[in-house]
Structure 1
């Protein structure tokens, strides 16, 4: 099976938890473009497959936890504007283009703002395409310009389908790997060879969202030197 087929299968499976969680998901945070002043921290987050428009359940929880961690700093968040549909070959690249445009616009308009990039499930694949896609998965091949990396303080992805082919951001992205946390919940089949399908819906309950917020807060404080992969067995590396 080719890498693209493996990733596509993982993306198909990523819809499992999104539909089940649909009734629990609130509206997305306001876009940074609506803010008059530049925030201290801007989060750009891509939701998972079939989740309603906005940050998604994982994204909302991640932003809430990060705000709690950062205390008095101003933290704004914007959702990647894409369909998050089951037509992954169209949906994920479209999300990648929107995420890239948002991040580059923030870097240009607010050069002192620290940018945090995140994604869950298909949203993690969106992040892969713009930060760590040397093989041009799905024919995308449009990573963000290298200077943008200086504005991105941290990357957090959950249930990343690239894990199915061993292409983890912590090791595959020269510019972003050291500032990335890539989390796979137990035997989540979207990001591992496991078969625990409910695990894909439980990133908030597992504590991994809080773990990611801790990592990002440490990156923003300048105290974490290297990226973190938490694999299917739950060990850090």
Structure 2
């Protein structure tokens, strides 16, 4: 049985890597249209909401085009609430075996630090393309993709109000985050643009660079805003042993 699980994990990892290669192609297209990204500085005081977003392959450092559009729409939806942002600090390079785990380590560390220092802040996780894979690694990762196997502690889920991922390579193997994560699935929106080959078995490569134009950041922001409005520490209760109760 363990051999079968190991084989399945290797096959899944290879499929995700192939999707990430295609994500890189789309990332270059998107990056060519962008100027330097600008991530909002986190306020000194704890914000009402903290968005932790990982950009796609080859995008300039910052939130990325999809991430910035998502944050802008979310701020509009949340009205008077303060919204801080954190652009995951990672290469977003074509060396996916190194890049995505680096992003996962950075994102996971920031989320846990925020949960500890700002316990009443509602955290929102987000990612586009390779950045979506980064979010997968810290919130689900049932097959230890890329050998990572370091998802965040279960107790952190209390502090995460919602998750929004776009062009998620895990969709290629039928493992969307919404279906694969017991802790985060119910508060996740996992969006794939039609026949985007990075997240589906389709072949519309330009679709991977058109998430903003297709209105997906707005759709995700509406979903996340509703989750944030209902977010509370009782959403997921963790007992003393650390298991979900």
Asked if Structure 1 and Structure 2 have the same fold, meaning a TM-score greater than 0.5 normalized by the shorter chain, the answer is: yes
Verify the 8 A CA contact 1:28 1:79 in the aligned structure 2: no
Q: Which has the larger radius of gyration?
A: 2
Q: Which residue of 2 aligns with 1:11?
A: 20
Q: Which residue of 1 aligns with 2:179?
A: 171
Using structure 1 for the length normalisation, give the TM-score.
0.91
Q: 1:183 aligns with which of 173, 184, 191?
A: 191
Q: 1:24 aligns with which of 28, 34, 37?
A: 34
Provide Cα deviations, 1:54-95, integer angstroms capped at 9, x if missing partner: 100000000000001011100011100000000000000000
Using structure 2 for the length normalisation, give the TM-score.
0.88
CA distance in 2, matches of 1:72, 1:31: 18
Shift of 1:133: 0.8
CA distance in 2, matches of 1:48, 1:21: 9
Provide Cα deviations, 1:185-205, integer angstroms capped at 9, x if missing partner: 000000000000000000001
Q: Which residue of 2 aligns with 1:146?
A: 154
Q: 1:62 aligns with which of 42, 67, 70?
A: 70
Paired residue total: 221
Shift of 1:16: 2.0
Verify the 8 A CA contact 1:28 1:78 in the aligned structure 2: no
Unmatched runs of 5 consecutive residues or more in structure 2: 1-9, 232-245
Q: Are 1:44 and 2:52 matched, yes or no? A: yes
Q: Which residue of 2 aligns with 1:101?
A: 109
Q: Are 1:74 and 2:82 matched, yes or no? A: yes
CA distance in 2, matches of 1:39, 1:8: 36
Q: Which residue of 1 aligns with 2:223?
A: 215
Q: Please provide the CA RMSD for this pair.
A: 1.2
Shift of 1:26: 4.2
CA distance in 1, matches of 2:116, 2:41: 16
Q: Which residue of 2 aligns with 1:226?
A: none
Q: Which residue of 2 aligns with 1:232?
A: none
Q: Which residue of 2 aligns with 1:230?
A: none
Q: Which residue of 2 aligns with 1:84?
A: 92
Q: Which residue of 2 aligns with 1:227?
A: none
Unmatched runs of 5 consecutive residues or more in structure 1: 224-237
